[in-house]
Amino acid sequence: MPSIVVTSKLFGSMFGTEAMRALFSDDTLVQHYLDVEVALARAQARLGVIPAAAAEAIAAAADIGRVDWDRMSRRTQIVGYPILPLVEQLSGWAEGGLGQYCHWGATTQDIMDTADVLQLRAALDLIEADLKATADALAALAREHAETPMAGRTHLQHALPISFGYKCATWLSALDRHRERLRELRGRVEVVQFSGAAGTLASLGDAGLPTQTALAEELGLAVPDITWHTIRDGFAEATGFLALLSGTVGKIGYDIMLMMQTEVGEVFEPFVTGRGASSTMPQKRNPIASEMMLAAAKIVREQHSAMLDAMVQDHERATGQWHVEWHALPTAFIIASAGLRAARETLEGLEVRPEAMRRVLDTTQGLIVAEAVMMGLAPQFGRQRAHDIVYECCREALSSAASFVDLLMAREEIARTLSREDVERLADPANYLGSAAEMTNRLLQARQS
């Protein structure tokens, strides 16, 4: 077993999409460091803080292919942070000694935080695309099966009939709220960090705030209200969003796994030869994608817990809590991407089996609609008497092979009042879906407007 599954040659693609794993690779991260340094030089050159030639030289030199990784790794172990080792190399690459203007007035955390924001912005783009596709797949299922009856379950027992489309619509409602949350949090997360050693921009004097604004413009980021070196609610909100999203994805996966049980078989993950196969049981079709959806929910939750803990930082620069983010943020995004992609692929190709849903509904021979029968008898017998009659028939049905309808019709008072056709209609689960279809269609119409 590898120590870190997201970097494993065996498990890596299961626990993170290739695009998300690439986004949080060392090469991409260091490229973002270089991008921020170049943007800073250009912003300061535009303001006259450093020579224009220096910005041009720094931009021309900032090539990820020139990084001496062994040297940078050794120096990072000594310094404790990667920015000084990178700036040492970048300064040497720039021609004409103009590298001395690299990192002018900045502090390490300015560069690292802003690079993290650039990563998060790109990562949220990936999440947003898969989230939309997953929601669209659910909307299609909800629309198609708005009136497809199936057993609703409470405490893992048959409760009342629902429609499969209604079930999909409840999942969809959460995903749509997550899309709204994502739109809202971007403005709080996609913010530049440039504040200097203690957050006051003292090293740049009057040019400090103009530099901060110009850097934000260069990178397409917002300007913060004030320094956020040790105020980490933005990043914690990002992992909180991922935890909520992954929790919903996990719930969907859990439901699908239960519906895929051999005795149920109401839905199946898309068929791929060999997927979910057992090494000893050829008949197996294990819910592999749903298992990943559930696992992602549990793992991402722990990363968010770590991020909440990392929020409690001391004074103007953290003594270790910041380092927690270096592990938790990438892990949360990578794992969340795996769970969401599994949900997307599953729901886009989900095999829905209405005939199995009907078979399961009929398992109790009408008992699932005992409430419907009771309410149907109430006008003739009164609610309490109707309850007692139906209760007695239910108990007898559960302890014998007789059908619920047969037992009801065996009651003289019912046979005298209602025809068998009337009773069968009351005991048909498809006739007791309540407002499931209407609520489903209302949700679908609202999201189209």
Is the pLDDT at 272 greater than 80? The verdict is: no
Same domain, 417 and 337: no
For the cut 80, the answer to whether the pLDDT of residue 281 exceeds it is no
Report which residue type is found at 159.
A
SS3 call for 154: strand
Domain C-terminal end among 81, 104, 127? 104
Check residue 302 and give its pLDDT.
97
CB 16 within 8 A of CB 335: yes
- What residues are paired with 151 via a beta bridge? 161
CA distance 269 to 290: 8
| Distance in angstroms (rounded) separating the CA atoms of residues 324 and 301 | 15
Indicate the range of 194-198, 301-305, 313-317, 378-382 predicted with least confidence.
Answer: 378-382
236 pLDDT above the threshold of 80: yes
Residue 76 belongs to a domain? yes
In terms of domains, do 247 and 346 share one?
Answer: yes
pLDDT surpasses 80 at 196: yes
What is the pLDDT at residue 27? 96
What pLDDT was estimated at residue 284?
A: 56
Residue 122 has pLDDT above 60, yes or no: yes
Tokens of 403: 């059908």
Same-domain pairing of 135 and 193: yes
Catalytic residues, by residue number, are 155, 278
pLDDT of 278 > 70? The answer is no
Say whether 157 sits in a helix, a strand or coil. strand
- Of the residues 63, 82, 104, the one at which a domain ends: 104
Using the predicted structure, report yes or no on whether residue 1 has a pLDDT greater than 60.
Answer: no
Among the listed residues 254, 274, 270, the one whose alpha carbon sits nearest the alpha carbon of residue 345: 270
Q: Pick from 104, 136, 167: which residue ends a domain?
A: 104
Q: Which bin fits 261, alpha (ψ -120 to 50), beta or left (φ > 0)?
A: beta
Q: Same domain for 275 and 391? A: no
Q: What is the pLDDT of residue 413?
A: 87
Q: Is residue 331 part of a domain?
A: yes
Report the pLDDT averaged over residues 323-338: 97
31 assigned to some structural domain: yes
- Of 46, 151, 138, 51, the C-alpha closest to 94 is 51
Domain range holding 389? 367-426
pLDDT tens sequence across 413-436: 888 888 899 888 988 999 999 999
Tell me, what DSSP letter sits at residue 3? S
Strand (E) positions, 237-286?
267-268
Judge if 234 and 267 occupy the same domain.
yes
* Strands 351-352, 267-268: pairing kind: antiparallel
Query: Residue length, the chain?
Result: 449
Q: What gap in Å lies between CA 235 and CA 238, rounded to an integer? A: 5
Mean pLDDT of the chain: 93
What number is the average pLDDT over the span 181-188?
A: 97
Q: What is the pLDDT of residues 349-379, one digit of tens each?
A: 999 999 999 999 988 888 898 888 999 899 9
The verdict on 142 and 169 lying in the same domain is yes
Q: Do strands 149-154 and 351-352 pair parallel, antiparallel, or not at all (unpaired)?
A: unpaired
For residues 104 and 44, is the Cβ–Cβ distance under 8 A?
yes
The angle subtended at Cα 224 by Cα 220 and Cα 229, nearest 5°, is: 110
Using alpha carbons, list the distances in angstroms from residue 160 to 5, 141, 323, 387. Answer: 42, 21, 50, 16
pLDDT for residue 446 is more than 80: yes
pLDDT at 290: 96
User: pLDDT category, 261, cuts 50, 70, 90?
Assistant: very high
CATH label of the domain that carries residue 52: 1.10.275.10
CATH code (residue 306): 1.20.200.10
- What percentage of the chain has pLDDT greater than the value 70? 96
pLDDT in tens, 3-32: 688 888 888 888 999 999 999 999 999 999
Question: Is residue 1 assigned to a domain?
Answer: no
pLDDT at 248: 98
Determine contact, residues 325/232, Cβ cutoff 8 Å: yes
Residue 274 binned pLDDT confidence (cut-offs 50, 70, 90)? low
**Is 4 within the bounds of a domain?**
no
- One domain, residues 264 and 371: no
What three-state secondary structure class fits 139? helix
Predicted pLDDT at 267: 97
pLDDT in tens, 50-62: 999 999 999 999 9
Q: Is the dihedral of CA 104, 106, 108, 113 positive or negative?
A: negative
Q: pLDDT (tens digit, 9 = 90+) per residue, 301-315?
A: 999 999 999 999 999
DSSP assignment, residue 105? T
Integer Cα distance of 322 and 218 in angstroms: 26
Asked if 326 and 421 sit in the same domain, the reply is no
| Structural element, H or E, at residue 245 | helix 233-259
Give yes or no for residue 215 having a pLDDT over 90: yes
CATH code for the domain of 385 = 1.10.40.30
Query: How many domains, in total, are found in the chain?
Result: 3
Residue 40 tokens read as 């800073």
Nearest to 114 by CA among 242, 221, 240, 208: 221
DSSP H or E stretch at residue 144: helix 108-144
User: Do 292 and 389 share a domain, yes or no?
Assistant: no
pLDDT at 255 over 90: yes
Any domain includes 380: yes
Domain shared by 359 and 377, yes or no: no
Say if residue 277 is in the same domain as residue 395: no
Name the E strands within 26-90: none
Give the residue among 104, 84, 83 at the shortest CA–CA distance from 39: 104
- Based on the domain organization, do 343 and 248 belong to the same domain? yes
Residue 346 included in any domain: yes
| 322 assigned to some structural domain | yes
pLDDT for the residue 143:
97
